[in-house]
Amino acid sequence: MSSVHPESLLAEVAALPSLPGVYRYFDAEDQVLYVGKARNLKKRVSSYFQKDHGGTRIGHMISKIRRMQTTVVRSEAEALLLENNLIKTLSPKFNILFRDDKSYPYLKVSGTGLPRHNKPTSDTPSGDKSTAKAEDYSRIAYYRGGVEKKHRYFGPYPSAWAVKETIQLLQKVFRLRTCEDTVFSNRTRPCLLYQIKRCSGPCVGVVSVAQYAQDVAQAEAFLQGETQAVLKAMEARMMAHADKLEFEMAAEVRNQMTALSRVLHQQSVDNVSDTDVDILAVKVQGGRACVNLAMVRGGRHLGDRPYFPSHVEDGHAMLNLALEDDVSAVSQTLEVKVLEAFIAQHYLSIPVPTTLITSEKIDAKVLDAIALQAGLKVNAVHNPREQRRSWLEMAEKNAAIQLARLLAEEGSQQARTRALVEALDLAPDDMDALRMECFDISHTSGEATQASCVVFQNHKMQNSEYRRYKIEDITPGDDYAAMRQVLMRRYGKLAEAIKSGETDRKTRMPDLVLIDGGKGQVSMAREVFEALGLDLSLIVGVEKGEGRKVGLEELVFADGRDKVYLGKDSAALMLVAQVRDEAHRFAITGMRAQRAKVRMSGGRLEEIGGIGPKKRAKLLQRFGGVRGVEDASVEDLMSVDGISKELAESIYQALH
């Protein structure tokens, strides 16, 4: 095995220290292959090069190694943290890899939640709109993004739905405001939410700053799981109002207590001692895996989210080799490996609760590492009882359901890819790596023309590789010119790289170039490919059928082949339609965003001296958009309030 590796690499391996650390392997194209950790770098890394691994997955990976990097750390826990940071950053091919498709949502409580020093702290409502300031009344809102210290954040929540449900609950019980500060500041009378008892009306001074702050404090205590303490505080507040003969206010607090008790009963959390818990269940089948993460926050089960790791089989093989010096670790199942990989990667960026309930027993070293990262003690419970057992069983069932759905979808997509390969007589080097790029043009009467390029590879749409192209310097509405421009921009540099022999697996032509259009668009694509010296057989146009009905599309070829009708129920046509529709969706959403930006911002109007936001808004409103302003004469422009003759002439000259 060592004969295929550079002598410099083998010498570097021999010189490694017997210390804990992290190692990275790279191939000839300097792409990262694998990231691993070791208690003893010299022993671990040497084991890769001292044995014959044959034609196994491990052997295939090791044969590609051309260089490596190592980092020495102080402990195995630090090595685990660094390893998973690098895995998330570098996305190595042979590691079990979890990708976060999006950030988690939070519930945000704005402001300090405390009365300002220059405000009365009386519990009596002022009823004076002039004294109501937005910064004195905290707002609850759905939130994603970076956090600010001046606000409080609760979560994370598994879904937007869970956050919005919680907001509705807080409105129902504590009547906290959800309106934007600008709306708050411009209210002159209570809104509909006040009328239906979902807000206490702070915008018009119906509730005092002190009383509202008390409601906010109790809402936050509820979110933290202190439900019994909240009920006791409410009861004390109700009795205090009653002692003062403030029976209406006492009745309001009583109604709040009733609503809260009803919610607690419906949620079945009144007897749950756990406040913040994550439940993790893993299911492995058919070479794929699913980790189902369910969240309990403040004693309430908020729902779950499935995660599907990449490179499960490769990662498992590599981990077994890397841990051959640890007999107990080698005997661990693939489920344990996947779950440990999820925990190590997931909690690098997400706050970890103090308790994890897991379907598999987790190595204490993994818990030590995330505890070191979070700065708190983390406990993992395997084989739980009572309520925790119910939570875990529900998570396990959901993991199995989600994995079955994924396998069914992937099987369907693979069948569609295979059908297309056979129908068009394609000969890709690897059917799993078959790459299609599809183009579409979108505009509204020539305005805001955009082209889209979407990519299909590995049996699925590759969203991260989608591209939009702003089309300029063409006659409005000329789709052929737009198609020429986008194809030249997409493949011009690539054609030069092909001629010079500088391509690699990341900069290669697709196996199929789909054009959303018939003979005209295909002829335009043919001209571009001929000019660039590219293979015409790659171009396939998707021509609408009779009556533009779905399922009647025909495929048009640039290399002279006859049209092909695949059949309404053809799996190949389903795949072509899927990719074509995605290109159309991506193009039209980009076009609408661009059109809205032009219409709202005024485009070139911003660059004209003497045109501020108010005058720009008047012009756009008067003429219905930038195009209308461009078509207006000097006299028409002068008819707009605030536009003098000199300014009208300046606008006309700037736009023409």
Cross-strand pairs, 306? 292
- Tokens coding 34: 């694998």
Q: Tell me what pLDDT residue 290 has.
A: 93
Q: With 50 as the cut, is the pLDDT of residue 211 above it?
A: yes
What is the rounded radius of gyration, in angstroms, for the C-alpha atoms of the chain?
Answer: 32
- Tokens coding 309: 């790791």
- State percent of the chain over pLDDT 90: 18
Residue with tokens 């507040």: 237
Residue with tokens 């303490």: 229
Using an 8 Å Cβ cutoff, are 640 and 624 in contact?
A: no
pLDDT tens digits for 503-541?
Answer: 666 667 899 999 988 889 999 999 999 999 999 999 999
Residue with tokens 């708050």: 184
With CA atoms as reference, report the closest residue to 140 among 228, 247, 206, 212: 212
Does residue 578 sit in the same domain as residue 437? yes
Long-range contacts of 562-571 (CB under 8 A, 24+ apart): 564/423, 564/424, 566/423, 570/419, 570/423, 571/415, 571/416, 571/419, 571/420
- Tell me the residue range of the domain where 78 lies: 2-90
Least confident of 164-178, 266-280, 403-417: 266-280
pLDDT tens digits for 540-594?
Answer: 999 887 766 767 788 999 988 888 888 777 888 889 988 999 998 888 887 666 6
∠ CA 498-501-502 to the nearest 5 degrees?
A: 90
E strand or H helix that includes residue 411: helix 386-423
Does residue 293 sit in the same domain as residue 385? yes
Confidence grade of residue 600 (pLDDT, cut at 50, 70, 90): very low
Q: Tell me what pLDDT residue 262 has.
A: 62
- CATH code, domain with 54: 3.40.1440.10
**70 within a domain of the structure (yes/no):** yes
- CATH code, domain with 314: 3.30.420
Confidence grade of residue 330 (pLDDT, cut at 50, 70, 90): very low
**416 within a domain of the structure (yes/no):** no
Confidence grade of residue 601 (pLDDT, cut at 50, 70, 90): very low
Does residue 607 sit in the same domain as residue 592? no
Q: What is the mean pLDDT of residues 62-72?
A: 89
Secondary structure (DSSP) of 17-33: -SS-EEEEEE-TT--EE
CA distances, 85 to each of 45, 78, 94, 524, 647 (Å): 20, 11, 15, 47, 58
Q: Tell me what pLDDT residue 412 has.
A: 84
| SS3 track for 265-306 | HHHCCCCCCCCCEEEEEEEEECCEEEEEEEEEECCEEEEEEE
What spatial distance separates the first Cα and last Cα of the chain, rounded to whole Å? 71
**95 within a domain of the structure (yes/no):** no
pLDDT tens digits for 89-143?
Answer: 888 888 888 876 567 888 899 875 554 444 444 555 555 555 678 888 999 998 8
Does residue 438 sit in the same domain as residue 557? yes
Q: Tell me what pLDDT residue 116 has.
A: 43
Long-range contacts of 447-451 (CB under 8 A, 24+ apart): 447/476, 447/595, 447/598, 447/627, 448/591, 448/592, 448/594, 448/595, 448/598, 449/474, 449/476, 449/482, 449/591, 450/587, 450/590, 450/591, 450/594, 451/482, 451/483, 451/485, 451/486, 451/587
Domain count for the chain: 5
d(CA 599, CA 621): 10
d(CA 317, CA 393): 29
How many of the other CB atoms lie within 10 Å of CB of 239?
Answer: 12
Q: Cis (ω within 30 of 0) for the bond into 156?
A: yes
Does residue 126 sit in the same domain as residue 54? no
With CA atoms as reference, report the closest residue to 275 among 367, 386, 354: 354
Task: Determine the 3-state secondary structure of 458 from DSSP.
Answer: coil
Q: With 50 as the cut, is the pLDDT of residue 54 above it?
A: yes
Domain boundary among 41, 60, 90: 90
Q: Tell me what pLDDT residue 128 has.
A: 58
CA distances, 450 to each of 547, 591, 595, 629 (Å): 26, 6, 10, 22
Q: Tell me what pLDDT residue 605 has.
A: 67
Question: Which letter does DSSP use for residue 563 in this model?
Answer: P
Q: With 50 as the cut, is the pLDDT of residue 392 above it?
A: yes
Q: With 90 as the cut, is the pLDDT of residue 487 above it?
A: yes
Confidence grade of residue 270 (pLDDT, cut at 50, 70, 90): very low
Residue with tokens 């993992």: 380
pLDDT tens digits for 421-479?
Answer: 888 888 776 777 889 999 998 876 666 688 899 999 988 899 889 998 888 888 877 88
Task: Determine the 3-state secondary structure of 106 from DSSP.
Answer: strand
Does residue 296 sit in the same domain as residue 372? yes
**502 within a domain of the structure (yes/no):** yes
This model's pTM is above 0.75: no
Q: Tell me what pLDDT residue 287 has.
A: 79
**26 within a domain of the structure (yes/no):** yes
**553 within a domain of the structure (yes/no):** yes
Q: With 60 as the cut, is the pLDDT of residue 144 above it?
A: yes
Least confident of 42-46, 77-81, 543-547: 543-547
Widest CA span of the chain, in angstroms? 93
Q: With 90 as the cut, is the pLDDT of residue 349 above it?
A: no
- Tokens coding 183: 């709306």
Least confident of 5-19, 394-408, 587-601: 587-601
Does residue 248 sit in the same domain as residue 132? yes
Q: With 50 as the cut, is the pLDDT of residue 185 above it?
A: yes
How many of the other CB atoms lie within 10 Å of CB of 413?
Answer: 19
Q: With 80 as the cut, is the pLDDT of residue 183 above it?
A: yes
**411 within a domain of the structure (yes/no):** no
Domain boundary among 66, 90, 114: 90
Q: Tell me what pLDDT residue 399 has.
A: 93
